[in-house]
Amino acid sequence: MKTVRSLVITGFGINCEEEMGAACTLAGAQADIVHLNQILHERVSIHEYDLLNFPGGFSFGDDLGSAKVLGNKIKFRQTESGKKLLNELERFLSDGKYIIGVCNGFQALVKMGLLPNIGGRFEQEVTLTYNDSGRFEDRWVKLRVNKNSPTPFLKGLQTFDVPVRHGEGKLLFADEEVRRKVIEKNLNCLSYADSDGNPTAEYPFNPNGSELNCAGLTDPGGQVFGLMPHPEAYLSLYNHPDWARRKRQNPGISEEGEGLKIFRNIVEYIGEKYVE
Q: How far is CA 40 from the centre of its chain?
A: 22
5-275: CATH, from 3.90.190.20, 3.40.640.10, 3.20.20.330, 3.40.50.880: 3.40.50.880
Q: Is the per-residue pLDDT at 275 higher than 90?
A: no
Mean per-residue pLDDT, 241-256: 96
pLDDT band at 129 (very low <50, low <70, confident <90, very high): very high
Q: Is the per-residue pLDDT at 268 higher than 90?
A: yes
Tell me the pLDDT of the chain averaged across its residues: 96
Is position 18 annotated as part of the catalytic site?
Answer: no
Catalytic one of 19, 168, 232, 258: 232
Cβ-based neighbour number of residue 65 at 10 Å: 16
Say what the pLDDT of residue 62 is. 76
Say what the pLDDT of residue 257 is. 97
Say what the pLDDT of residue 195 is. 96
Is position 240 annotated as part of the catalytic site?
Answer: no
**For 55-74, what is each residue's pLDDT tens digit?**
999 998 877 777 989 999 98
Q: How far is CA 234 from the centre of its chain?
A: 14
**For 156-210, what is each residue's pLDDT tens digit?**
999 999 999 999 999 999 999 999 999 999 999 999 999 999 999 999 999 999 9
Mean per-residue pLDDT, 9-38: 97
Is position 214 annotated as part of the catalytic site?
Answer: no
Catalytic one of 19, 24, 168, 230: 230
- Assess contact for 114 and 223: CB atoms under 8 A: no
In degrees, rounded to 5, the angle at the alpha carbon of residue 114 between the alpha carbons of residues 225 and 121 is: 140
Global pTM exceeds 0.85: yes
Catalytic one of 103, 168, 214, 258: 103
